[in-house]
Chain A
Amino acid sequence: MSENGDLLSIEHLSVEFFTEDGAAKAVQDVSLKIRKGKTFALVGESGCGKSVTALSIMRLIPEPPGKITSGKIIFKGSDLLSLTEKQMRRIRGDKIAMVFQEPMTSLNPVYTVGEQIVEAIELHQKKTAEQAWADAVEMLQKVGIADPQQRVVEYPHQMSGGMRQRVMVAMAISCRPALLIADEPTTALDVTIQAQMLDLLDHLQKEIGMSILLITHDLGIVAERANEVAVMYASRIAEVAGSDALFAEPLHPYTQGLLKSLPRLGLSVKRLPTISGTVPDPLHFPAGCKFHPRCPIGCNDKRCQTVEPELRKVDWWGKDPTLQNCERYVACWYAPGYET
Chain B
Amino acid sequence: MNSRSGLVTFLVFLLLTAMIVLQILSMVQSDRLYERLNRLLDIQKGGVATKSAEEKKETSSLPGEEYPGDEGDWLIWSLGAEPATLMGITTLSSMYTRYIVSGNIFESLLEYDPDSLTLRLLLAESYNVAPDGLEISFRIRSDAHFSDGHPVTADDIIFTYQTIVNPGVDAASLANYYKDVDKVVKISEREVKFLMKRIYFKSLELTGGMEILPEHIYKFSNPEEFNKRISGPVGSGPYIFEKWDVGREIVLRRNENYWGHKPKIKKLVYRIITNDTAAIQSLRAGQIDFMRPLPDQYAELSKNEEFTRGIRCLSYWHPAVGYFWIGWNQDRPFFKDRRVRLAMTYLVDREMIRKHLLRNPEAKVPTGTFYIYGRQGDPNIQPWPYDPQKAKQLLDEAGWVDHDGDGIRDKDGVPFKFSYMISSGVSLHEQIAKLVKDEAAKVGIEVNLDPYEWSIFSQRLLDRQFDAVNLAWGGAVEEDPYQIWHSSQIGNRGSNYVGFKNAEADALIEEARRTLDENKRNELYHRFHRILHEEQPYTFVYTRPEQRFLDKRFENAIVHKLGVNTLEWYVPRDRQKYK
Determine whether A and B are in direct contact in the complex, meaning some CB atoms lie less than 8 angstroms apart: no
